[in-house]
Amino acid sequence: MFPTNATSEPRAPTKTDWEEASGRFDETLSEHGVIAGRVDLHFHLLPAIDDGPASVREALALARAARADGAAAVVCTPHLRRDHVHDPRQILRAVVAFRSELRRAQVDLTILAGAEVAADLALRLDPRLLELVALGGRADAGRVANSRFLLVETPFDGLDAAFASACEALLRRGYRPILAHPELAEPLPAGERRLIELVRRGALVQVNALSLIGRHGAIAERRALDLVERRLAHLVASDAHGPTRPPALSAASAALLAHGFAPRHVRRLVNETPWRLAGADAPNVRPCPPGLPSPPSRAGRPFSGSPPVARAARTARPPDVRVERLRTARVLAELRIASRLRRGAA
């Protein structure tokens, strides 16, 4: 059985809860062995737990789409907030249950437990509960400060003072927030300044793959490319939910290359940083590549920069763009077929 959303306040974890989570659930990619392929770090895969797949069948179709998109592992990141899940143990139990479904369906996909956390709820949770959905390997006395990472949902109504203050409090408690999809947030006059300050203090920024290929609209695409160009973005993830919001790491990689970004930069965003964040060497991830100047402030024009101008030497499309686009088309076709089958069954 998959856990449903609870309505009561989460209790503090018992000794049994903590031992179970530390043993069976606190897993990183390094503990799974070497995995060839990408890690999709923001993924709503678990069935009937938030606004992702409504059933096991839909979740399995989405898992197959992730594999077709080149992911070997995904971090399951249900919304951890008042209107969805508000106890991390629900997520852990759902991950274990869905692993059994993946094995039964013979879908070769590694899944790890995480969450897309509302910053204000993160501050109110018992620290031991919050630890269950943090990334970066098990925390213990020997680990470096700020070596644990939390995927934090950026409010769609903008990076306001309350959100920035909550992220700063998480930093003081030893967590480094990964700010999810800030390119989708409503631009506020001080929003960019707050974002830059959080990055300077150790926060990371995740942009959505669908933003980079224009599926969230032209404005979100420009803002996402601007964040990448100015080195304010540290990783790309799908934020997949289902047929209308599918996995798109391959398409995002192709789009970045077509816009003239260096292959090394694209690999860091799409391949290397997500893998490291999900594994034991995550403390080595830096908020910005060393040696780069501080990102310039554009007061009053949040994320308003244009995409990189394609110079003559960079206008030729990389040779793998066509392959990546064909792969993405196949993923979308498979999701559409699964959606039609679901409607027919209904």
pLDDT at residue 22 is higher than 70: no
- 24-28, 57-61, 74-78: least confident range: 24-28
CA distance 113 to 132: 8
pLDDT level of residue 258 (50, 70, 90 thresholds)? very high
pLDDT at 156: 94
- 6-10, 126-130, 256-260: least confident range: 6-10
pLDDT at residue 295 is higher than 80: no
Q: What are the sequence ranges of the domains in the chain? A: 27-345
Q: What pTM was computed for the model? A: 0.74
Residue with more model confidence, 339 or 260:
260
What mean pLDDT comes out for the span 291-314?
33
Residue with more model confidence, 303 or 152:
152
Which residue type does 220 have? A
What the block records as the tokens of 68 is 């077709």
pLDDT at residue 345 is higher than 50: yes
CA distance 172 to 148: 12
CA distance 15 to 267: 41
Burial 279-288 (b: 16+ CB within 10 A, else e): bbebbebebb
**What CATH superfamily is the domain 27-345?**
Metal-dependent hydrolases (3.20.20.140)
Complete DSSP assignment for 248-271: -HHHHHHHHHHTT--HHHHHIIII
Quick check: 177 and 204 in contact, CB under 8 A?
yes
pLDDT at 327: 57
pLDDT level of residue 239 (50, 70, 90 thresholds)? very high
Write down the mean pLDDT value for the chain.
Answer: 78
Q: What is the pLDDT of residues 79-105, one digit of tens each?
A: 998 877 778 999 999 999 999 999 999
Q: Which H or E element spans position 11?
A: none
pLDDT at 147: 56
